[in-house]
């Protein structure tokens, strides 16, 4: 009996001990939890908040829409239109059974994106398993994007972005350029003014739940809006210039062609057209060579188009006057024969321009120190970029020596030994049309024209301008540029091209450049046809008709009053 009582007593004590131990353990656990709670809530509350935020807060980019590029009248040349990026979350797709071939939606996605089914599968799952974002397509048409969204495929998402659209297409492609898939300018105006057009994207901090849904907006850092750009270009005149130069390249089987039109009063570039061009809205299989703006990148020896500058220098230095007559019989200098295509015994200064006499112009140049010609060309801007702000502009090739030999001076006077861009050369004629005032050129619309700098006396330049009118009259090399009802002052030129080895090759560049109307010049225009191969290669035959066609349309479009005082009926082959 006593033993039984002891056993019961021991059992009671054991239960009491276990209960006490459990009680104290619970007390200790509660104290630990309270201590932890106090630490988290009072002593160091930021740590848990930070860890929670790291799991749920996300920073989202708030992109800006790229600025619009328009012509001087607000007509759009480059705009951003809505598009979608299609992306996949490989992990989510795997969690839903992967890409199931029997699920027709995956086949539809493959067809819509033009991605073969197996390639689509490998593109999604061949990447790092930790990656939860894989692009499938960029800049997808909104109609297609919405169709894909309706497929309701697990792990397939759309992200709104934009793509660039160019309403004028190939007409302005070489000037405007293009952007890459991330809307960064990589050619032309798009690249040159990329920062201005882009702005600065903002940031949006949001809280997401475990399913990735936004449940709270935390904060927003405002973006800096992109800027629009208004160019000096007139889209209508650009289309005229492009159509004419493109037709000239095709009809003459030429390598390329360029036309640039300038408003003499403001220095604004109204048209800058190149051929061949490309479609900036579809770059599939495009040759990158087609993308450059030849008006500012390609350089050639200008040939006879420099002759008016030599006459200006000769008049300024008092070597001749407008009534002087020069012996133009062929002659030899340092073992080289200087000759003309058609021989004349003697020519007046005006006739030297009209007949484009190398003999006459070289004799004028040799009558002056070579520095006089070098300085004259330099004052007109040769050897320097025009600083219109377009990337890729060449400064040309200009002699570094201060003095030229006699033979160097002779050939320099008719456009060899110096290389220029199309834009540099048309600026020379804009300055002549402005009667000796060099005005900065601009590819952006000018609200307040810059006054410009006088580099030559007005009375001298006026005389040469009048002489240049003879080139488009009967007997002149540029008769095919004549425009019924208008006086024009031009110069044609033909120059041999230099090959890769630095030697002349049997290819030519045909020029016609000038101003109109000659009585009060408003526009300067240059037409360059590179390597015509359809029989003719002289500027007077190849580029002069194009000049007349473009300038005639420009004058009529601006309702410029006809100023021709000559007998139009006596001019043959009027365009």
Neighbouring CB atoms inside 10 A of 304's CB total: 24
| Arithmetic mean of pLDDT, 201-217 | 58
Q: Which of 146-150, 424-428, 453-457 has the lowest mean pLDDT?
A: 146-150
Give the contacts of 147 (CB within 8 A, at least 6 positions apart): 112
Q: What is the pLDDT of residues 58-88, one digit of tens each?
A: 555 556 789 999 999 999 999 999 999 999 9
Q: In the predicted model, what is the mean pLDDT of the chain?
A: 89
Four-residue CA torsion sign, 9, 15, 17, 19: negative
Instruction: Parse the chain into domains and list their residue ranges.
Output: 55-75+167-231, 79-165, 235-278+294-570
Rounded to 5°, angle at Cα 185 from 149 and 443: 130
In CATH, what class is 79-165? Answer: alpha beta
Is 304 noted as a catalytic residue in this protein? yes
- Would you say 488 and 517 are in contact if contact means Cβ atoms under 8 Å apart? yes
Task: Report the pLDDT value the prediction gives residue 200, as an integer from 0 to 100.
Answer: 74
Helix (H) or strand (E) holding 504: strand 504-516
Does 216 score more than 90 pLDDT? no
Query: What are the beta bridge partners of residue 444?
Result: 231
With bands split at pLDDT 50, 70 and 90, how would you rate the model's confidence at 26?
confident
Query: Percent of the chain at pLDDT above 70?
Result: 86
CA dihedral 426, 431, 432, 437 (to 10 degrees): 180
**DSSP letters of 360-424?**
HHHHHHHTS-HHHHHHHHHHTTTTS----S-TT----B---SSS--HHHHHHHHTT-S-BEEHHH
| Arithmetic mean of pLDDT, 257-275 | 98
CATH topology identical between 55-75+167-231 and 79-165: yes
Q: Which of 80, 170, 277, 304 is catalytic?
A: 304
Q: What is the pLDDT of residues 538-571, one digit of tens each?
A: 999 999 999 999 999 999 999 999 987 554 444 4
Task: Report the pLDDT value the prediction gives residue 307, as an integer from 0 to 100.
Answer: 98
- Would you say 229 and 444 are in contact if contact means Cβ atoms under 8 Å apart? yes
Does 185 score more than 70 pLDDT? yes
| Arithmetic mean of pLDDT, 84-101 | 87
With bands split at pLDDT 50, 70 and 90, how would you rate the model's confidence at 23?
confident
| Arithmetic mean of pLDDT, 485-501 | 94
* CA distances, 220 to each of 62, 287, 510 (Å): 9, 43, 59
**Burial group, residue 18, by CB count within 10 angstroms (0-12, 13-18, 19+):** exposed
Instruction: Tell me which architecture the domain covering 55-75+167-231 has in CATH.
Output: Alpha-Beta Complex (3.90)
Residues 293, 272: Cα–Cα separation, whole Å: 9
| Arithmetic mean of pLDDT, 89-110 | 87
- Would you say 201 and 63 are in contact if contact means Cβ atoms under 8 Å apart? yes
Instruction: Tell me which architecture the domain covering 235-278+294-570 has in CATH.
Output: 3-Layer(aba) Sandwich (3.40)
With bands split at pLDDT 50, 70 and 90, how would you rate the model's confidence at 500?
confident
Task: Report the pLDDT value the prediction gives residue 484, as an integer from 0 to 100.
Answer: 94
- Would you say 445 and 232 are in contact if contact means Cβ atoms under 8 Å apart? yes
């Amino acid at each position: 009996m006593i033993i039984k009582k002891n056993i019961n007593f021991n059992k009671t004590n054991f239960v009491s001990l276990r209960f006490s131990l459990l009680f104290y353990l619970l007390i200790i656990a509660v104290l630990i939890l309270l201590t932890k709670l106090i630490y988290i809530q009072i002593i160091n509350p930021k740590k848990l908040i930070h860890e929670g935020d790291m799991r749920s807060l996300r920073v989202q980019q708030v992109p800006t829409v790229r600025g619009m590029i328009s012509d001087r009248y607000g007509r759009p040349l480059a705009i951003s239109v809505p598009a979608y990026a299609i992306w996949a979350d490989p992990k989510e797709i795997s969690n839903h059974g992967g890409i199931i071939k029997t699920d027709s939606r995956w086949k539809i996605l493959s067809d819509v994106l033009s991605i073969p089914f197996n390639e689509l599968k490998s593109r999604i799952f061949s990447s790092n398993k930790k990656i939860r974002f894989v692009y499938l397509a960029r800049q997808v048409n909104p109609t297609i994007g919405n169709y894909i969204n309706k497929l309701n495929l697990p792990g397939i998402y759309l992200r709104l972005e934009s793509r660039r659209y160019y309403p004028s297409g190939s007409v302005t492609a070489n000037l405007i350029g293009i952007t890459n898939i991330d809307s960064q300018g990589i050619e032309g105006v798009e690249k040159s003014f990329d920062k201005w057009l882009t702005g600065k994207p903002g940031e949006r901090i949001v809280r997401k739940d475990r399913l990735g849904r936004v449940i709270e907006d935390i904060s927003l850092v405002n973006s800096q809006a992109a800027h629009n750009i208004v160019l000096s270009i007139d889209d209508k005149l650009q289309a005229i210039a492009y159509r004419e130069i493109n037709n000239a390249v095709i009809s003459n089987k030429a390598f390329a062609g360029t036309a640039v039109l300038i408003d003499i009063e403001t220095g604004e570039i109204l048209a800058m057209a190149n051929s061949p061009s490309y479609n900036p809205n579809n770059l599939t299989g495009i040759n990158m060579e087609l993308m450059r703006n030849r008006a500012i990148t390609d350089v050639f020896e200008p040939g006879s188009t420099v002759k008016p500058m030599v006459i200006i220098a000769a008049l300024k230095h008092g070597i001749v006057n407008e009534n002087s007559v020069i012996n133009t019989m062929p002659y030899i200098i340092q073992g080289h024969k200087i000759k003309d295509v058609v021989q004349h015994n003697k020519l007046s200064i005006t006739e030297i321009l009209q007949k484009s006499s190398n003999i006459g112009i070289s004799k004028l140049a040799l009558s002056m120190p070579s520095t006089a010609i070098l300085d004259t060309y330099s004052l007109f801007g040769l050897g320097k970029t025009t600083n219109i702000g377009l990337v890729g502009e060449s400064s040309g090739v200009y002699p570094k020596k201060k003095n030229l030999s006699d033979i160097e001076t002779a050939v320099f006077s008719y456009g060899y030994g110096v290389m220029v861009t199309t834009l540099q050369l048309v600026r020379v004629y804009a300055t002549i049309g402005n009667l000796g005032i060099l005005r900065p050129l601009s590819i952006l619309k000018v609200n307040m024209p810059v006054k410009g700098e006088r580099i030559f006396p007005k009375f001298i330049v006026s005389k040469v301008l009048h002489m240049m009118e003879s080139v488009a009259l009967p007997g002149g090399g540029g008769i095919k540029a004549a425009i019924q009802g208008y006086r024009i002052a031009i110069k044609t030129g033909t120059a041999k091209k230099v090959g890769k080895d630095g030697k002349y090759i049997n290819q030519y560049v045909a020029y016609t450049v000038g101003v109109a109307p000659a009585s009060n010049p408003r526009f300067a225009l240059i037409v360059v046809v590179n390597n015509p191969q359809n029989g003719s290669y002289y500027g007077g035959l190849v580029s002069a008709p194009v000049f007349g066609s473009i300038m005639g349309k420009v004058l009529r479009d601006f309702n410029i009053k006809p100023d021709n005082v000559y007998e139009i009926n006596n001019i043959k082959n009027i365009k």
